[in-house]
Chain A
């Protein structure tokens, strides 16, 4: 490599390509060898030539002494003075007439600093101890220099012509066909790609879409649940939930002050509901209490979407001839509850309803099995439970492999005859139904611990951006 131009180019090339290019190309292979040595700094060189500042101070002081002010005028005066003082080479007579005056205190001095620097200059730095070198480095008289050198040999695809690697394929290359001769810079697969500028759907809504899909796949028709305000009549009374039931308490339910009361009910149906609550009938003993229309009129924010199911079933009952129906809904419900990390005053309820002749409890279990299988949950068992408007009522449990125990995943039941018969449904029609919340499965699916990060304005938008697609069964 006699030609320095080539050497320089090669060096530049090697250094730039150092990270990833060279090993792949293998035109040449370069081995990095670095060495270190000590050099004098500018100040160090000056000292090596003229002596240390303190030595120069010493030698500039005549026997009769020198005024301090005079000494300070010299370039080396200030630094040299303090060093010479600490070496006890000189003394100051502050009381001298005409201002402080400096005198020599010793006859001769030995300028060790200069001696050491001269050693280094002559390339004998190894004779100095590390401690001494560091001391001089501290005084900025010495510096340590690293020399990087490359040991270059021919690579496996050595060539005497240097071709530049392309980073991008351009239309010109394709047009001219030059891409065939080009080499391309490989991609760096360790780095992330560019974050795209895109919109995102909310995770809870993604899960809702999947639940909708499951119901639709199972042939369930969506109920119109776009009525958050409901009368107590449809929310409770029509479901045979007595008027003193704790759920109807101010502590549990949001009541409205405006509009406070609902004003329109199917009157004959209302009378039948009143009768079944207060006196019984339809094979029931009833609750035997004084049922009040005023209580039923009270408007509330619906506490469950089952209120809509009741409206829909009433509608079905008004048809001339009963036809079987399968209904579902996923929408907001409201509870006047104490809030915490898993409870909000509003949440989404998922509900499924099947009405047909002769449905059995076994049918309900079968439908639930199919529904939960679509969610990827196959191990189910059922626990007897109590619910004012279903009998039998069953809590649905699934086996949690992680917790090694059965956990509750939903609630279900067969609607009571006291609810269905006053509506006018045929006696041999059974209605099976189940419900669960949308928030909980979403929190589990997306690993969210605090519901406020998911729902409401305190949502973590980064979480929304980062959330994957929703496949419930895998």
Chain B
């Protein structure tokens, strides 16, 4: 029996290539996941408000359809035990909580009341309530007078009254929680708007919103037993885990905002703290709400949110008592605005944008289910849409169109292929990079992939250069030294890659083709990327000829001849990072007409300092 002389064995690949790829891609579009507020509601209360119980799966499905996300099913006990350990959680409640992620622009879904209302209307179980501003029975509305001192710090204020409200513990908790959620989101951590809520029966109007030097403000703040001056408060709250985040908003101002009642009682010192005197309790029947702001539009939205959400618990549900705000110039405004806006659009517009074909009446019904009360006007396919004060996110017809699509069900829309005819082109620089990478790997070099950001030290000190000599762009707010500058050279990254892989068998042959960033006055932003190629050979024995060979090979691939004048050649030069001449060389090459290759390269041996810092001992 004669064995086959050639290597004729059968290659059997075991294992399946059918692994499911692509699951868990992380979203990287801005403004979504990171800023999505999470609302925690008690499951039983939610189901009670929704008028039926759901299984967790059913509710998850409903959330998905509506654009919410049931992020977590947990309990207070579970949360405490996770964050502080089992021992602390012993007495905590194990009532089931739903943590629901809400789109960042839907302030009307930030509390149980709003969530339940939105979902009930969506499920056609409830007609969206109509929020009404009413005159006080007494005929005399509460007044908030703004003095001109506020202009230096926080000039806007709005106010309203919730009359004859009934709190329970749950409602009270939700009321406080909504303020907190609004503060964190639309109010931009109280910098744009700060909300103060007060027991109206403990204070008496008219109220004055003014600003005073911190030494002149003195009151008993919420949950404290004694009076403090504003100056004292600022140092007291320096260590408060919650309040310290808001101090910077007014800290450096000469005057601090403050609201007094007609008897000189301090209601609040926005945006930091309310007075203890007027605090809300479960027994509170009449609530005075004030919002002070640097952004009036946002203040109006926030006030509308507070009153629309909680007027449900007033004796006259969904009515809000107006308040009058008087500006320093004498102009008086009535709040809350509770403005209903009407928009007209055609059903053809919605059908065309979404890619569906529904009747005008059907589309009006779809929109009504999204709390946008709509009707076909009868004029052609015209629909009149009413945008309630709760839907401040609707600012364009496209927002209405999206709501129609959500109510229709995104996943009921037929998927179509656009007829857009285009011819594809590669970006020439990337095309060159792609081709070159392949051949550099074929030349025996392995591709590295390093960060574009690094420390000043990496691109300067460690390479024997001064940072001022580099054309590096500098980052103003790095969290660590790793992100001080954008790299100006690929070399530090490759050296660090070798340092981190010293256990690998030698030689290490690495390359990288990627962008560095350089300051460039001629660009609109004052900087530009520059595509670079860097390679490194790391071994016990000298190997300059290897790097030299790679350079020659690269030039060959780029069709640049080795010749003085019209091609490339290598000449000695002095580079700080490299050993003294004549051990290193500089190669120069004329830009060839067809490619935009880098015209200067620096092959050579690295100087010991650069090596020592990288904890390497052998590099050529």
Whether B24 lies near A241 (C-beta < 8 A) is no
**Main SS at interface, chain B:** loop
Binds B, one of A40-48, A50-58, A60-68, A433-441: A433-441
Stretch at the interface among B227-235, B406-414, B587-595: B406-414
Contact between B410 and A430, CB atoms less than 8 A apart: no
Whether B23 pairs with A221 at a CB distance below 8 angstroms is no
Chain A residues, CB < 8 A from B450: 456-457
Contact indicator per residue, chain A 371-386, by CB within 8 Å of chain B (1) or not (0) = 0100111000111111
Q: How far is the CB of A143 from chain B (nearest CB, A)?
A: 43
The residue from A184, A260, A265, A303 contacting B5, defined by CB atoms under 8 A apart: A184
Q: Report the Cα distance A306→B509, complex, angstroms.
A: 36
Residues of B within 8 A of A280 (CB): 395
CA distance A46 to B228 in the complex (A): 107
A405 to chain B, nearest CB (A): 10
Distance between Cα atoms of A218 and B18 in the complex (Å)? 23
**Apart from A157-B1, A227-B525: 15 A-B pairs, beta carbons within 8 A:** A183-B1, A221-B422, A221-B426, A256-B527, A259-B519, A301-B475, A306-B29, A324-B422, A342-B26, A381-B410, A384-B103, A391-B402, A435-B27, A441-B22, A461-B497
Determine how close the nearest CB of chain B comes to the CB of A413; give it in whole angstroms: 8
A262 contacts which of B418, B423, B500, B525 (Cβ < 8 Å)? B525
26 A–B contacts from the bound complex (CB under 8 Å): A183-B1, A197-B444, A228-B517, A246-B34, A283-B396, A289-B297, A299-B526, A303-B30, A336-B483, A345-B451, A361-B405, A362-B355, A362-B356, A369-B415, A372-B22, A382-B411, A383-B410, A387-B32, A400-B24, A407-B24, A408-B25, A409-B25, A414-B353, A439-B26, A456-B450, A457-B499
Q: Which residue from chain B places its CB closest to the CB of A418 in the assembled complex? A: B396
Using CB atoms, name the residue of chain A closest to B31: A388
Mask, B439-473, CB within 8 Å of A = 1, is: 01111111111111100000000000000000001
A410-443 residues with Cβ-Cβ distance < 8 A to B are 410-411, 414, 416-418, 430, 435-437, 439-441
> How does the 8 Å CB contact mask read for B89-125 relative to A, with 1 for contact and 0 for none?
0000000000000011110000000000000000000
Q: Does B169 contact A (CB under 8 A)?
A: no
Which chain B residues in 1-59 approach chain A with CB under 8 Å?
A: 1-7, 9, 17-32, 34-36
| Chain B contacts for A458, CB-based, 8 A | 500
Q: A219-B422, A229-B517, A444-B22 are in contact. Are A435 and B28 (CB under 8 A)?
A: yes
Which of B204-212, B326-334, B427-435, B565-573 lies on the face that meets chain A?
Answer: B427-435
Q: Give the distance in Å from the alpha carbon of A286 to the alpha carbon of B402 in the complex.
A: 17
From A382, A386, A472, give the contact of B104 (CB < 8 A).
Answer: A386
In the assembled complex, the Cα of A220 lies from the Cα of B473 at a distance in Å of 32
A83 lies within 8 A of chain B by Cβ: no
A227 to B4, CA, bound (A): 58
Whether A220 contacts B22 in the complex (CB less than 8 A), given A199-B444, A334-B453, comes out as: no
- Give the residue of B24, B410, B448, B508 whose beta carbon is less than 8 angstroms from that of A382: B410
If A228-B486, A385-B67 touch, does A356 touch B418 (CB 8 Å cutoff)? yes
A185 CA to B29 CA, complexed, in Å:
62
Contact B449 A231 (CB under 8 A): no
* CB of B330, distance to nearest CB on chain A (Å): 23
Chain B, 467-501, CB within 8 A of any chain A CB? 473-479, 482-483, 486, 493, 496-497, 499-501
Would you call A440 and B32 a contact (CB within 8 A)?
Answer: no
Closest beta carbon of chain B to A359's beta carbon, Å: 6
Q: From A252, which residue of chain B is reached at the shortest CB distance?
A: B34
Interchain CB contact under 8 A, B29 and A435: yes
